[in-house]
C-alpha cells in the first residue's frame, strides 16, 4: 500500500501517514525501514498493515537490487539507530511525599466539614448512626400532623444535618477500601510511576500487535519460499527473492523489537512492584490515622447536630396545637421527645410481622433510655398521685427519664432494669403485696447487678406505717400528703444521695 507522511514526533517516537483514500493512520518510527534518516513530511512511502496496525513503512522510491541467492539477513535499521531513545526510570523516585498526598486529600474533606462545623457542649450529642432513620420518621410524622410547626432555625438545622450526612456517606464510600485509597491518593500523584505504568501498558499493547505482525510475516515468508521452489521464471524469481529478503528483514526486526519490549517490561514491572510495596505500609498507617481523625470530627458534628435538631424539633412540636391534639388522642402522656414517640411507635407495630425491625427499635429505645442523667421507675397499681410525681421529677431536669407502670410483676424482666437509678414503689400494692414484691425485686436486682435505690411512696404516712416500711429494710420513704415544697425537698435529698 502507498501513502504520504503527514507528521513525525521524534519525542514520542510516532508518526502519521495518509493512504490513497485520504485516511490518516498512525505508526511507530520503530516500524520504519530503509530510510537514511527520519522520514520527511509528505514523503511518499509504502507500508504494510496487519490487524489494523502498520507493521512496516519504507520509502516508495527505494531501488530494488537483485539478490543472487536467497539469504536470511539480520539487516540493521538506520532510522532506529538515529532515532531519539525513549528513557524510563528503573528506580522510581517520589514525586509527592506520602504526608503531602494525605494532607492534601484530607484538607479538602476537612474544608467541607468546616463549612458546617459548630461547637457543642460535652453532653450535646446523640448517636446519629443509630438515630438517623427514626429522626427522619419522627420528623416526617410531625410534618404530616402540622407542616407549619418548623421555624427557620429548625429548617436550617435539618438542612445542615442532611448535608453532613451526605458528606459522611460519600467519604465512607470513597475511603472504604484502603488499597483503593492508596492507588487514588498516593500512586496517582506519582509522575514517574504513572509514566512507567503507561509505558508498560503501551509496550504490552505494542507487543500484542507485533506478535500478530510476526505471525503474518512468517506466513508470507513461507508462501514466498514455496513459490520460489515451484520454479517460476527468472524475472519472477528475482522479484520474489527481493520480497523474501525484505520480509525476512521485517521479521527479524519485529522479533528484535519484541525481545526489547519484553526485556523492558520485566524492568518496568519490577520497578512498579518495588515502588508500590516500598511505600504501601507507611501510607496505610498514616492514612488510617488521618482517616480516623477526619471521621471522628465528622461523627462529632453529626452527633451534635442530631442532638440539637432533636431537642429543637420537640420544642417546636410542643407549640403546635395539631401535634398536641394528636398526642392527647393517642394517650401519649409523657414529655414530648423522641423516646416518648418511639415508645408509641413501637406499640403500633405488629409484633408478629416485624421481628427484625422491632428488635432494632427496641435497641434504639434502650439507647435513648440509657442516655438519661437519672432514670426513675414508679411501680403502682392505683396511685392517683403517680402522674403528679412524674411531672415533679421531670421538673428537676428535662434529661431525667421517668416512667410509671401499673403492673408490678411486669418489671422483673425489663431490659432497662439494670440501668435504673431509682425504683419508687407504692406502699399499698396488693398483687403482689409490698413485702412479697420487695423480696422478689431484691433477688432480681442482685441477679442483674443493679445499683438502683429502692424507695417506698406513701399516700398518707404516719409513724406506724413508716416504722413498718423500715422493718422491710427500706431507708427511702416519700410521704405524698406533705406540702409540695416539702415533697420537692424530700425527693431532691433522695436524688442527691447517689
How many whole angstroms from its chain centre is CA 401?
Answer: 36
As a whole-number percent, the residues of the chain with pLDDT over 70 amount to 92
Asked if the structure places residue 6 within a domain, the reply is yes
User: Which triple of cell numbers denotes residue 19?
Assistant: 493512504
Asked if the structure places residue 483 within a domain, the reply is yes
Measured CA to CA, the distance from residue 414 to residue 51 in angstroms comes to: 77
pLDDT for res 403: 85
Q: Are residues 343 and 365 in contact, defined by beta-carbon separation less than 8 angstroms?
A: yes
Asked if the structure places residue 32 within a domain, the reply is yes
pLDDT for res 51: 67
Asked if the structure places residue 298 within a domain, the reply is no
pLDDT for res 282: 95
Q: CA angle 483-484-486, nearest 5°?
A: 70
Residues 412 and 442 in one domain: yes
Residues 362 and 450 in one domain: no
Measured CA to CA, the distance from residue 308 to residue 327 in angstroms comes to: 22
Asked if the structure places residue 307 within a domain, the reply is no
List, edge to edge, every strand of the sheet that includes 53-59.
24-28, 14-19, 2-9, 44-50, 53-59
As a whole-number percent, the residues of the chain with pLDDT over 90 amount to 43
pLDDT digits (tens, 9 = 90+) for 132-174: 999 999 999 999 999 899 889 999 999 999 999 998 988 887 6
Query: Is the pTM higher than 0.85?
Result: no
Q: What is the mean pLDDT of the chain?
A: 86
pLDDT digits (tens, 9 = 90+) for 214-233: 998 899 899 988 888 877 66
**Domain count along the chain:** 3
Residues 418 and 490 in one domain: yes
Measured CA to CA, the distance from residue 290 to residue 296 in angstroms comes to: 10
Residues 377 and 394 in one domain: yes
Asked if the structure places residue 78 within a domain, the reply is no
* Residue finishing a domain among 35, 59, 83: 59
Residues 341 and 445 in one domain: no
Long-range CB pairs of 417-420 (<8 Å, 24+ gap) are: 417/377, 417/444, 417/445, 417/448, 417/450, 417/452, 418/448, 418/449, 418/450, 419/369, 419/370, 419/375, 419/450, 420/375, 420/376, 420/377, 420/450, 420/452
Residue 13 zone, left/alpha/beta (φ > 0; ψ -120 to 50; rest)? left
pLDDT digits (tens, 9 = 90+) for 443-468: 999 999 988 999 999 988 899 999 99
Residues 413 and 471 in one domain: yes
Backbone angles phi, psi at 353, to 5 degrees: -110, -10
Residues 358 and 426 in one domain: no
pLDDT for res 107: 85
- Whether the per-residue pLDDT at 85 is higher than 70: the answer is no
Residues 428 and 398 in one domain: yes
- Structural domain of 416: 372-497
Residues 377 and 358 in one domain: no
Residues 419 and 460 in one domain: yes
Asked if the structure places residue 469 within a domain, the reply is yes
User: Which triple of cell numbers denotes residue 325?
Assistant: 391534639
Asked if the structure places residue 123 within a domain, the reply is no
Binning pLDDT at 50, 70 and 90, where does residue 242 land? confident
Domain of 434, CATH number, reads 3.40.50.2300
Residues 395 and 382 in one domain: yes
Residues 358 and 412 in one domain: no
List the single range of 225-234, 256-265, 296-305, 356-365 with lowest mean pLDDT: 225-234
* Residue finishing a domain among 59, 75, 108: 59
pLDDT for res 194: 94
Q: What is the mean pLDDT of residues 465-494?
A: 91
Domain of 24, CATH number, reads 2.40.50
Binning pLDDT at 50, 70 and 90, where does residue 65 land? very low
Measured CA to CA, the distance from residue 313 to residue 139 in angstroms comes to: 8
* Residue finishing a domain among 39, 59, 79: 59
Amino acid at each position: 500500500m502507498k501513502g504520504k507522511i503527514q507528521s513525525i514526533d521524534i519525542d514520542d517516537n510516532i508518526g502519521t501517514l495518509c493512504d490513497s483514500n485520504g485516511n490518516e493512520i498512525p505508526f511507530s518510527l520503530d516500524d520504519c525501514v530503509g530510510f537514511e534518516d527520519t522520514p520527511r513530511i509528505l514523503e511518499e512511502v509504502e507500508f504494510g498493515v496487519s490487524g489494523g496496525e502498520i507493521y512496516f513503512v519504507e520509502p516508495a522510491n527505494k531501488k530494488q537490487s537483485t539478490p543472487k541467492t536467497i539469504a536470511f539477513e539480520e539487516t540493521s535499521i538506520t532510522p532506529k539507530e538515529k532515532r531519539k531513545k525513549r528513557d524510563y526510570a528503573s528506580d522510581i523516585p517520589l514525586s509527592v511525599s506520602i504526608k503531602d498526598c494525605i494532607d492534601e486529600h484530607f484538607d479538602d474533606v476537612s474544608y467541607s466539614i468546616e463549612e458546617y462545623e459548630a461547637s457543642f457542649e460535652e453532653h450535646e450529642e446523640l448517636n446519629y448512626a443509630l438515630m438517623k432513620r427514626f429522626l427522619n420518621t419522627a420528623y416526617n410524622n410531625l410534618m404530616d400532623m402540622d407542616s407549619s410547626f418548623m421555624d427557620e432555625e429548625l429548617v436550617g438545622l435539618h438542612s445542615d444535618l442532611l448535608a453532613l450526612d451526605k458528606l459522611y456517606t460519600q467519604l465512607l464510600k470513597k475511603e472504604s477500601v484502603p488499597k483503593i485509597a492508596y492507588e487514588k491518593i498516593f500512586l496517582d500523584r506519582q509522575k514517574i510511576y504513572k509514566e512507567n505504568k503507561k509505558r508498560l501498558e503501551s509496550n504490552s499493547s505494542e507487543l500484542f500487535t507485533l506478535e500478530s505482525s510476526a505471525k503474518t510475516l512468517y506466513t508470507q515468508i513461507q508462501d514466498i519460499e514455496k513459490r520460489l521452489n515451484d520454479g517460476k521464471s527468472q524475472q519472477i524469481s528475482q522479484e520474489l527473492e527481493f520480497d523474501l529478503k525484505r520480509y525476512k528483514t521485517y521479521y527479524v526486526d519485529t522479533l528484535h523489537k519484541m525481545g526489547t519490549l519484553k526485556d523492558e517490561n520485566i524492568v518496568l514491572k519490577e520497578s512498579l512492584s518495588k515502588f508500590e510495596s516500598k511505600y504501601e505500609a507507611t501510607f496505610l498507617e498514616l492514612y488510617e490515622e488521618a482517616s480516623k481523625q477526619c471521621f471522628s470530627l465528622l461523627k462529632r458534628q453529626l452527633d451534635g447536630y442530631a442532638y440539637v435538631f432533636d431537642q429543637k424539633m420537640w420544642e417546636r412540636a410542643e407549640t403546635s396545637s395539631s401535634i398536641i391534639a394528636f398526642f392527647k388522642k393517642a394517650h401519649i402522656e409523657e414529655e414530648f421527645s423522641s423516646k416518648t414517640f418511639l415508645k408509641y411507635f413501637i406499640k403500633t407495630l405488629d409484633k408478629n410481622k416485624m421481628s427484625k425491625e422491632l428488635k432494632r427499635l427496641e435497641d434504639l429505645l434502650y439507647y435513648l433510655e440509657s442516655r438519661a442523667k437519672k432514670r426513675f421507675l414508679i411501680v403502682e397499681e392505683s396511685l392517683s398521685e403517680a402522674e403528679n410525681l412524674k411531672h415533679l421529677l421531670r421538673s428537676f431536669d428535662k434529661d431525667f427519664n421517668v416512667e410509671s407502670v401499673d403492673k408490678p410483676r411486669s418489671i422483673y424482666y425489663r431490659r432497662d432494669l439494670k440501668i435504673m437509678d431509682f425504683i419508687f414503689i407504692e406502699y399499698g400494692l396488693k398483687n403482689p403485696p409490698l413485702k412479697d414484691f420487695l423480696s422478689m425485686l431484691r433477688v432480681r436486682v442482685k441477679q442483674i447487678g443493679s445499683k438502683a435505690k429502692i424507695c417506698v411512696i406513701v399516700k398518707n404516712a404516719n409513724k406506724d406505717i413508716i416504722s413498718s416500711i423500715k422493718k422491710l429494710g427500706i431507708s427511702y420513704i416519700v410521704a405524698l400528703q406533705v406540702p409540695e415544697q416539702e415533697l420537692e425537698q424530700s425527693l431532691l435529698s433522695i436524688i442527691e444521695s447517689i
